[in-house]
Amino acid sequence: MSIEIVRGLSDKPVAGQELVDLASKWTEESGKLFIGYPIIGTPEGRHQIDALLVTLSKGIVVFDLIEGSDTGDFRSRQDDSANKLEAKLKAHRELMQGRTLPIEIHTVSFAPGIAHRESFETTGYRLETTSSLLQALRNLDWNQPSKEIYERTLSAIESISTIRKSGTRRTVRRDDSRGGKLKRLEDSIATLDNRQSKAVIETVEGVQRIRGLAGSGKTIVLALKAAYLHAQHPEWRIGVTFNTRSLKGHFRRLIEKFTLEHTGEEPDWKNLQICQAWGAPGGGDRDGIYHQFCQLHDVDYFDFREAQHRFDRGVEFAMACEHALSQAQDSRPLYDVLLVDEAQDFSPPFLRICYELLGESKRLVYAYDELQNLSGESLPSPEDIFGKTTDGSANVQFNDVGANEPQRNIILPKCYRNSRPILVTAHALGFGIYRKPQRPDEMGIIQMFDHPQLWEEIGYRPRQGDLREGVPVVLSRPEETSPRFLEDHSDVTDLIQLTHFESEEEQASWLSDAIRDNLEKEELRHDDIVVINPDPLSTRDAVGPIRARLFEMGINSHLAGVDTGPDTFFQPEAESVTFTGVYRAKGNEGGMVYIINAQDCHSTGRNLATIRNRLFTAITRSKSWVRVLGVGHRMKALQGEFEELRKKDFELRFVYPTEEQRKQLRIVHRDMTTTERKRVQSRQKGLEYLVEDLESGSVHIEDLNQEVLEKLKGLLGGGR
């Protein structure tokens, strides 16, 4: 038993730290202590409670923290905080018993700077010092302790459950329809777990990173963190940025809702900016972090077309950021806080630009998906990203801190979007766990983490074997990281299916019929359905025939970012089904996700890691059901991998590759730039001509440079 500490921002640091130290010694009690939280919206404006303790046996304790020896009118402060908190909690119907709030609210003024408290004693008002506080807390009582009321009270105080609920009311006629199942699922998902709520509130001076799986709540945590900091310090200039532009509306809705909950007022959008990463001249929605940096430091700015012309394809933005950093002569702060979502999609130079745009506090929070690129190491270490000081020490380090200190390195292992079968399928196909080798000397696995413990950090547990190089291991996801309610609503064979078709026409016909059934028979809404094409270059042509069939059926659809603005993904008001490429789908989710042309993900060529990652990303967009569709023999091979996983009861069984094997995987399946690809194609064509000439006799081996031939034999293994 212990008190969990959640440390937000506080303007009373000494008294707050003393309270934390005492609470950590109260080992016979279980509960949660919030510092600098909650903030309550009132007709007079925002009201911040200095500290709040919630325990199962005592109920609620509201703390009025006193720095120094001047107590002021602590009685009025206690009354004010208790009344405002009671009014906030009474607004939650699920907490009330008739007209009565069933949980006790106690108030205590805590003044560690006062030696003798006797002269301040007043009937009904407690003022305690360091020596008297713990005994005073032990003497408190709650007449009817209830675990259910305790948990509901915590949820209401954290103001999370109401934030997560869908903004659109769902009406269903049948509880057993897909729409009915999705409604119950959304209601269950509405409450964040302890790690997520702690990540929202805890704030550090300096850099903080939040890591987690797709669906672990990173985007929501980041949005609510921005709103919490804005409520705490409305004068601060706070920036929120991301890679997927369609996330902008989602961020705005979450921040607005959370700020209203805490302050009763709209956010000040001048001080709280949600902007894209790149940006362009023109102000407003066109502005972005990189453009602001260039403008502020008076350095060269490149738009996308100019960057394409000047830098290698695929690294345009990274090189543009690197160029801007090299030109900037000094640091010119623009923000008090910057929060970066989807950090795995950004290069270190962009994160350094964010770092340079902050003042001395360097309050940068970046969130990323450890597996989003399935690249083994994801982002480089913070030491590599943010560089070193003049004395050689790292600008940013995530050293271990005490249990009661705000965490700089937060991991969210629990997935609240994907059920266990869906998430494990995404990982199995993404890593190629059950892929059959294409050659005798090849591994089936496509890529693997360099650090085995990452599997446990993202919620897997070894059921057999050990997570060590060269050792067989069986990994599964327990209920604490993959809640059962996410999969219990439907049979496992309905949660995820891989389906093979003989032709694209057959695929289009099946899919259009399935969408019609979703809407007409299964009570899904248009914005519950997302159709994803993994290949970003072919999406417009690939979805055309399917959308034409739907149009003939009287079903509206749109291609996100093409038929809509770049910031729009869903169109619920137009009752339109969303079609999208995989990159625009990132950061979004749907009840029913269809993935078309999945056969492209069973390529045997280069860039296989990236191609499999597209499938991984597409599958993890679903919060209920997934249908993976494809054409031809390559789709049958992908089906074979899935069937093997299903036979293994959705467990990952493999021998952990050694360091040498992992190096080989990166070589075999590495991504190539456009320049590299052209170079390989040119050399291959030359090699083909040489073979033809040797076969025809127009060129003889004796005509070739013997030294070069010997080197070629050695590289191809002929010298062994």
Cα–Cα distance list, 438 to 216, 282, 598, 663 (Å) = 35, 52, 19, 18
pLDDT of residue 673: 46
Q: What's the pTM value of the predicted model, to 2 decimals? A: 0.79
pLDDT of residue 720: 39
Contacts of 68 (CB under 8 A, 6+ apart): 113
pLDDT of residue 412: 86
Domain spans, the chain: 3-158, 194-411, 420-665, 675-716
Peptide bond into 536 cis (omega under 30): no
Q: Provide the 3-class DSSP secondary structure of residue 332.
A: coil
Q: Provide the 3-class DSSP secondary structure of residue 617.
A: helix
Contact 207, 355 (CB under 8 A): yes
Q: 10 Å Cβ neighbour count for 368?
A: 21
- DSSP classification of residue 571: B
Contact 253, 284 (CB under 8 A): no
pLDDT of residue 668: 47
Q: Provide the 3-class DSSP secondary structure of residue 410.
A: strand
Q: Provide the 3-class DSSP secondary structure of residue 62.
A: strand
Reported as a single tens digit per residue, the pLDDT across 105-148 is 999 999 999 877 877 777 789 999 999 999 999 999 888 778 88
pLDDT of residue 676: 46
Altogether, the residues listed in the chain come to a count of 720
Q: In DSSP terms, which residues pair with 210 in a beta bridge?
A: 367, 410
Contact 651, 455 (CB under 8 A): no
- The two three-digit tokens of residue 136, written as one number: 């005073």
In this prediction, the residues of the chain whose per-residue pLDDT falls under 50 are 374-377, 668, 670-674, 676-677, 718-720
Q: How far apart are CA 329 and CA 319, in angstroms?
A: 18
Contact 27, 63 (CB under 8 A): no
Contacts of 37 (CB under 8 A, 6+ apart): 6, 8, 48, 49, 52, 201, 228
Q: How far apart are CA 103 and CA 59, in angstroms?
A: 6
Cβ-defined contacts of 45-49 (< 8 Å, 24+): 45/263, 45/264, 45/265, 46/231, 46/262, 46/263, 46/264, 46/265, 47/80, 47/81, 47/84, 48/232, 49/81, 49/85
Q: How far apart are CA 344 and CA 94, in angstroms?
A: 39
- The two three-digit tokens of residue 559, written as one number: 């291609």
N-to-C CA span, the chain: 64
The overall longest dimension of the chain from CA atoms, in Å, is 110
Contact 662, 376 (CB under 8 A): yes
Q: How far apart are CA 311 and CA 377, in angstroms?
A: 25
- The two three-digit tokens of residue 710, written as one number: 């010997």
Run of H or E residues at 40: strand 39-42
Q: How far apart are CA 687 and CA 189, in angstroms?
A: 58
CATH of the domain spanning 194-411: 3.40.50.300
Contacts of 437 (CB under 8 A, 6+ apart): 443, 444
Helix, strand, coil percentages for the chain (3-state, nearest 5): 40, 20, 40
Q: How far apart are CA 65 and CA 74, in angstroms?
A: 9
- 3-158 matches 194-411 in fold: no
Contact 524, 591 (CB under 8 A): yes
Rg, Å, the chain Cα set: 29
Cα angle: 447, vertex 429, 313; to 5 degrees: 60
Q: How far apart are CA 144 and CA 152, in angstroms?
A: 15
pLDDT of residue 641: 97
Q: Provide the 3-class DSSP secondary structure of residue 644.
A: helix
CATH of the domain spanning 420-665: 3.40.50.300
Q: Provide the 3-class DSSP secondary structure of residue 335.
A: strand
Cα–Cα distance list, 384 to 339, 351, 702 (Å) = 19, 11, 51
CATH value of 3-158 in 1.10.8, 3.40.1350, 1.10.3470, 3.30.200: 3.40.1350
Handedness of CA 219, 224, 229, 235 (dihedral sign): positive
Cα–Cα distance list, 235 to 224, 261, 335, 656 (Å) = 17, 19, 11, 51
Q: Give the type of residue at 255.
A: I
- The two three-digit tokens of residue 154, written as one number: 């915590």
Q: 10 Å Cβ neighbour count for 124?
A: 8
